[in-house]
Amino acid sequence: MIASLIQLRIFRNWNMWIDTFLLFVFFLFIAPLIIPRFLLIDILSWSIVVYGFSLLYGFLGYLSFGHLAYFAVGAYTFACTVRFLHIDPLLGIIIALLAGVATGALFGLVTVRKGGAYFALTNLSVSVVVYYIVLYFLKDYTGGFEGKFIDLRHGIIDLSSRETAFLAVLILFTLVFLFYKILSKSTFVLLLQAIKENEDRVKFLGYNTFLIKYIAFIVSTMFSALGGAALVLSHSYVSATTYTPAFNGEIVIMSMLGGASSIYGPIIGTAMYLGLKYVIGSYIIRWELVIGTILLVSMILAKGLGICGIFEKLLKTKIKLFGE
Amino acid sequence: MVRLTLFQKVVIAVIIIAVVVIGTMAYYFYYGPGAPRMPSEFKLGAVLDYTGVFAACAKAEEIGMKIAIEEINAKGGLFGRIPIVLITRDGESKPEVQIRRFRELVEVEKVHAALGTCHAGGAYSLMKESLTAGIPYWPSPVMAWEAFKKEERAPWTFGVWTPTWSVGYAMCYWAVTKLNAKNVYFFARTDAWGWGIRDGCKAALEKYGGTMVGYDEFTLGTPDYTPYITRMIAAKPDIIVSTTFGGDQVTFLKQAYELGLHKVAKIMVFTSHLVMKGIPPEALKDVYAVAAFYHDLPAGLVDDNTYKLIRNFTNKVKTMAGEPPDPYTVANYVAVLAMSKAFEKLGKIENIKPEEFEKAVMELGSIPTPKGELRFTKAGTPIYRYAFFLGIGKGPGERTYEYDYLNIIDVFGGEELLPPLKLLGYE
Amino acid sequence: MDILILVRQTLYGFSIGVILALVSLGLSLTYGKMKIINIVHMLFYAVGAYLVYTSSIMVGNFWYGLLLSAIVCFGLGIINEQILKYLYGKSIEYTLIVTYAILLIGIDLIKFIWGVDFKAVRPPKELSWFIPLIEIEFYRIFVIIICIVLYLLTTLFMKHTMLGKVVTAFIDNDEHLQAIGINPRIATLLMYALGSALAGIGGALHAPLYSPYPYMASDIMMYAFATVVCGGVGSIAGTLLGGIVLGMGYSYSGYFQPYLSPIVVFLALFIILIIKPEGILGAK
């Protein structure tokens, strides 16, 4: 059954490879001319988490209010293994990935049973517990509120320089994007969407819906953990302030802004949100007021669709932005 | 459903991204690398946490910087001809954002030096970042004293705050020598702040013959101190030395007052104007308060020159902010002054190497400040003539004006209260 | 733990729990009925606290502040309903972002009006003394009593007054209401206004127990949601129960280590959700 979920003939689809390559080239050469690289690296890192979130929200319709937990798990696993075990940061990234998988495997058993408020709040609970553990109980390792500086110099590649860190994060992002694209064309995602519509019907068809949801959850947490490692990579610093549970809403907004069910949605939503904060915050001290107003107004005007949703409407054709 | 050609897809992608970041683009191109450089201006960058938990501190810091810049520009600026421009960005009280903003200040705004944050961890990360960024950075908040260790500190970074270690040293020095309270009950916060103060206190107790008869720890943000206060009352020490600060201090003193702790022992806290603003007067009455700066001193306690500087500075801050200066304000005022003098000594404002900037600062000799003469140790810690002020809290009946919190009775400073150079890895 | 400390922490937990319940009741009702997650609701809690602060500074009287909070939040609740009427039926994304945006704006307005520093509010002099032996502020006992009384009043109101019965009927099934010819608009308005006023009172009562600050609205959000879901959405008694359960958890664990409190609260939520996803008193 698992094999049928991933149709390998996807790999022969040239369009997909070209799209991914173009995106990579775009971010490597063109985007830095428009967006400063230090902002771009943060956008790419955060968008990886938002991809993880959108997988669950966009396709399955399950809204998680606690993805910062998995973000934190990845970030701290990376930070602590690099700092205390003095391993190569590249290895650290892989370990962070595995930690994300493990966390998802653990909590997924319980969280994916139902959607709606149940899913949102069980994940929120995980986020709160993880936050306070890294803030205080594991403070000696994590640095807690103050945080810890991570020296990225020991390794095959010196990841402490701006250029290599950017390239590393960009590669991670591209891999995530590619994975997401492949995923979006598989029957797996079709099943997720079917479950979103009517789970019982899918069960009657003979599928183990719990297993499907479970796997989706693990992939989602894996992405989030990867995003966490990427963010530490971009700053050489990790601090619990980033993972305050109250900021879970930001991930939700970034996903919704871009349109949760399209492939480009997460990156666009993240770019918009962080870009907006960056630009407005540079001019106006009361940026919270302005951004709140902008979000409000744009949501009302956009009638609740993400940017990609609007685009689809604008071109008056249902352009399947994923799967071409 | 429409199948798009490759070309159409590329076009759409470019349009979307362009629309999305149009604001950033316009901004970036305005200030970007192609924009003409203006060496006729000195750009000072500051990452200030206007939003988030440290919002109150950001304002205080900014005012100190602005006043210093005003004074320097009144004489024409650096070298008498290069005016200083302050460029600030919101750090949102998170190191993640602070680092981003710092990079923005360096790469986009092309600042020549930077100050900032209200967060010790953030300041530490900016200190590290400054080495790759290529501009000197001085921290605006108090940093953990370990940041000044030889292997940690960036050579051009100097602290304008006497470290937490010194706070503890001063507090316990005064407890034993001035207040004759030899039995100390120490209340430490479970982090670098609390432990740093504790370490300094222990050193002072050892030197002046006091004992720590009680010790307890609390976490930042504790809403209820009653269990701790009950234990303090039971221990019957001569004095409680508490490292509560900020909102915690307000809560602690409120609850201590209601539980009647002041009837059992003396209470000593480290405080500041921003904190005292929020403490109900009854709760501050007869509490011994140590502050890094105070605006209202009795005559004869400090030398005439410093007294004048304090008066001038306080008036300027009152005019600009409506309130007297907070230690954050003074610290950042001093930072800008000292930094500019260092740049003037160097004779240049660009392409600075960490070691040459450090050398320039060390060669400055002493600088007059509202905390007395200032010199730096080679560990980057400041030697102020008047590092700390000891005062007694005034009750509701004794206050003659709104900010009349304390009766200052002593000052302390110099090199004695600094963490020994050996501890920091020098010599 | 000796018995006095146990008593103390139990009362402490009770005081937190009833405030939580009061603040979350409005949320529970609107989510239960309108299926709207009204994030703006958190603002009322903050506004209530700040109004009490202003009242104690300007007039020196806590009681006026309490009354003021109730009235102002009642009015704000009506305004809130007008905004949310607009959102009824829209997708959850829409609602979430709009209400979140309004919360951001509200927090910034609070910062603008009152400033960013922590405020100190003292409980009324008559009530601010410590009960000997147990060492708990009498004010907390007062809070418990007031909140329970308010809760009882609300329940009585819902069951026995005409207006209340309209709201209850509305919550159960608004088509029946329309069939009788009563405009459900009255019911919705009242539901929002009542919930908001209670949240404001909750904030006002809580203010003397710690320091109001601008971001308190977003910080309480998690706990409010936890209370609602834990107790059972749409159930009045459930919210009270949920609040008390979580308040106790917070208090007992907080005695040993303050940072343990949120962990215990959300762990409790997690476990309750696993065992009974609808909440303790929630309907299946």
Do the domain assignments include residue A279? no
Total domains, chain A: 1
> In the predicted model, is pLDDT for residue A129 greater than 90?
yes
To the nearest 10 degrees (0 to 180), the angle between helices B327-346 and B304-321 is 110
Do the domain assignments include residue C43? yes
Q: How far apart are CA B69 and CA B63, in angstroms?
A: 10
Q: Chain B window 76-105: which residues touch A at a Cβ cutoff of 8 Å? A: 89-90, 92-96, 99-100, 103-104
| Partner B contacted by C254 (CB < 8 A) | yes
**In a shared domain, residues B249 and B344:** no
Do the domain assignments include residue A46? yes
- Alpha-carbon distances, residue B368 vs B152, B163, B293, B365 (angstroms): 28, 20, 15, 10
Confidence of residue A321 (pLDDT cuts 50, 70, 90): very low
Residue C229 distance to chain B (closest CA, Å):
25
Interface A–C counts its CB contacts (< 8 A) at 108
Q: Across residues B92-106, what is the average pLDDT?
A: 93
* List of chain C residues whose C-beta atoms are within 8 Å of the C-beta of residue A303: 90, 94
Confidence of residue B22 (pLDDT cuts 50, 70, 90): low
**In a shared domain, residues B378 and B400:** no
Tokens of A323: 């799967």
- Quote the mean pLDDT of chain A: 85
> In the predicted model, is pLDDT for residue A313 greater than 70?
no
Q: What is the largest CA-CA distance in chain C?
A: 60
Do the domain assignments include residue B62? yes
Q: Across residues A168-182, what is the average pLDDT?
A: 93
**Residue A305, pLDDT score:** 57
Q: How far apart are CA C39 and CA C30, in angstroms?
A: 11
Q: Do B222 and C258 touch (CB under 8 A)?
A: yes
> Residue B192 sits in a domain of what CATH number?
3.40.50.2300
| Partner B contacted by C112 (CB < 8 A) | no
**In a shared domain, residues B177 and B268:** yes
β-pair partners for B370 = B372
Do the domain assignments include residue B4? no
Q: How far apart are CA A223 and CA C156, in angstroms?
A: 51
Q: Across residues B12-40, what is the average pLDDT?
A: 58
Name subunits touching C (3+ CB pairs < 8 A). Answer: A, B
Q: Do C98 and A300 touch (CB under 8 A)?
A: yes
**Residue B24, pLDDT score:** 61
Do the domain assignments include residue A235? yes
Q: Across residues A237-246, what is the average pLDDT?
A: 91
**In a shared domain, residues B256 and B405:** yes
**Tens of pLDDT, residues B40-98:** 899 999 999 988 888 889 999 999 999 999 999 999 999 888 999 999 999 988 999 99
**Tens of pLDDT, residues A203-234:** 999 889 999 999 999 999 999 999 999 999 99
Confidence of residue A323 (pLDDT cuts 50, 70, 90): very low
**Residue A218, pLDDT score:** 96
Do the domain assignments include residue B244? yes
**In a shared domain, residues B157 and B220:** no
Confidence of residue B21 (pLDDT cuts 50, 70, 90): low
* List of chain C residues whose C-beta atoms are within 8 Å of the C-beta of residue B279: 120
**Residue B290, pLDDT score:** 96
* List of chain C residues whose C-beta atoms are within 8 Å of the C-beta of residue B244: none
**Residue B5, pLDDT score:** 65
**Residue B102, pLDDT score:** 95
Q: What residues contact B377, with CB distance under 8 A and at least 6 apart?
A: B383, B415, B418, B421
Q: Across residues C192-202, what is the average pLDDT?
A: 92
Please tell me which of the candidates A121, A257, A300 has its beta carbon nearest to residue C226.
A121
Please tell me which of the candidates C90, C105, C269 has its beta carbon nearest to residue A292.
C105
**Tens of pLDDT, residues C140-153:** 999 999 999 998 98
> In the predicted model, is pLDDT for residue A303 greater than 60?
no
**Residue B1, pLDDT score:** 41
**In a shared domain, residues B397 and B273:** yes
Residue A8 DSSP label: G
Confidence of residue B34 (pLDDT cuts 50, 70, 90): very low
**In a shared domain, residues B318 and B178:** no
From the candidates B232, B258, B261, B402, which should be mutated to test the interface with C, based on the most C CB atoms within 10 A? B258
φ/ψ region of A36 (left if φ > 0, alpha if ψ in -120 to 50, else beta) reads beta
Please tell me which of the candidates C117, C137, C258 has its beta carbon nearest to residue B219.
C258
- Quote the mean pLDDT of chain C: 85
Q: Across residues B181-193, what is the average pLDDT?
A: 92
> In the predicted model, is pLDDT for residue B10 greater than 90?
no
**Residue C174, pLDDT score:** 63
Tokens of A70: 């998995």
Confidence of residue B269 (pLDDT cuts 50, 70, 90): very high
Tokens of A56: 């669950």
Do the domain assignments include residue C95? yes
Collapsing DSSP to helix, strand or coil, B380 comes out as coil
β-pair partners for B411 = B389
Q: Across residues A46-68, what is the average pLDDT?
A: 93
Q: Across residues B100-105, what is the average pLDDT?
A: 94
Interface B–C counts its CB contacts (< 8 A) at 56
Q: Do C263 and A132 touch (CB under 8 A)?
A: yes
Total domains, chain C: 1
**Tens of pLDDT, residues A256-278:** 888 778 888 899 889 988 988 88
**Residue A265, pLDDT score:** 87
Do the domain assignments include residue C283? no
> In the predicted model, is pLDDT for residue C22 greater than 90?
yes
> In the predicted model, is pLDDT for residue C44 greater than 60?
yes
Q: How far apart are CA A172 and CA A226, in angstroms?
A: 8
Residue B257 distance to chain C (closest CA, Å):
11
Q: Do B21 and A320 touch (CB under 8 A)?
A: no
Cα nearest neighbour of B16 on chain A: A268
Q: Do A237 and B104 touch (CB under 8 A)?
A: no
Burial B1-11 (b: 16+ CB within 10 A, else e): eeebeeeebee
Residue A250 distance to chain C (closest CA, Å):
10
Do the domain assignments include residue B355? yes
Q: Do B125 and A18 touch (CB under 8 A)?
A: no
Burial A65-84 (b: 16+ CB within 10 A, else e): bbbbbbbbbbbbbbbbbbbe
Cα nearest neighbour of A15 on chain B: B6
Q: How far apart are CA A241 and CA C244, in angstroms?
A: 29
Domain housing B131? 41-162+303-386
**Tens of pLDDT, residues B340-358:** 999 999 988 888 999 999 9
Q: Do A295 and C101 touch (CB under 8 A)?
A: yes
Percentage of chain A with pLDDT > 90? 43
Question: Which of A12-21, A313-322, C87-96, C164-173 shows the lowest mean pLDDT across its residues?
Answer: A313-322
Tokens of B210: 């006091």
Q: What residues contact B155, with CB distance under 8 A and at least 6 apart?
A: B354, B355, B357, B358
Q: Across residues B94-116, what is the average pLDDT?
A: 93
Residue B290 distance to chain C (closest CA, Å):
21
**In a shared domain, residues B146 and B243:** no
| Contact indicator for C31, C268 with CB cutoff of 8 Å | no
Q: Across residues A104-116, what is the average pLDDT?
A: 90
**In a shared domain, residues B404 and B259:** yes
> In the predicted model, is pLDDT for residue C166 greater than 90?
no
- Quote the mean pLDDT of chain B: 89
**Residue B38, pLDDT score:** 46
Residue with tokens 């304008």: B160
Do the domain assignments include residue A206? yes
**Tens of pLDDT, residues A83-101:** 888 888 899 999 999 999 9
| Partner C contacted by A285 (CB < 8 A) | no
| Partner A contacted by B35 (CB < 8 A) | no
Domain housing C65? 3-218
**Tens of pLDDT, residues C244-278:** 999 999 999 888 888 888 999 999 889 988 888 87
Do the domain assignments include residue A298? no
| Partner B contacted by C130 (CB < 8 A) | yes
Count of CB atoms situated within 10 Å of the CB of B250: 25
**Residue B12, pLDDT score:** 63
Give the N- to C-terminal CA distance of chain C in Å, as an integer: 39
Q: How far apart are CA B162 and CA B414, in angstroms?
A: 10
**Residue A267, pLDDT score:** 92
**Residue A319, pLDDT score:** 43
Q: Across residues B18-44, what is the average pLDDT?
A: 62
Do the domain assignments include residue B340? yes
**Residue A10, pLDDT score:** 58
Which one is predicted more confidently, A146 or A73? A73
> In the predicted model, is pLDDT for residue C19 greater than 70?
yes
Do the domain assignments include residue A297? no
**In a shared domain, residues B60 and B102:** yes
Do the domain assignments include residue A53? yes
**In a shared domain, residues B326 and B222:** no
Confidence of residue A299 (pLDDT cuts 50, 70, 90): low
Q: Do A303 and C94 touch (CB under 8 A)?
A: yes
> In the predicted model, is pLDDT for residue B330 greater than 90?
yes
Please tell me which of the candidates A162, A275, A285 has its beta carbon nearest to residue B21.
A275
**In a shared domain, residues B276 and B408:** yes
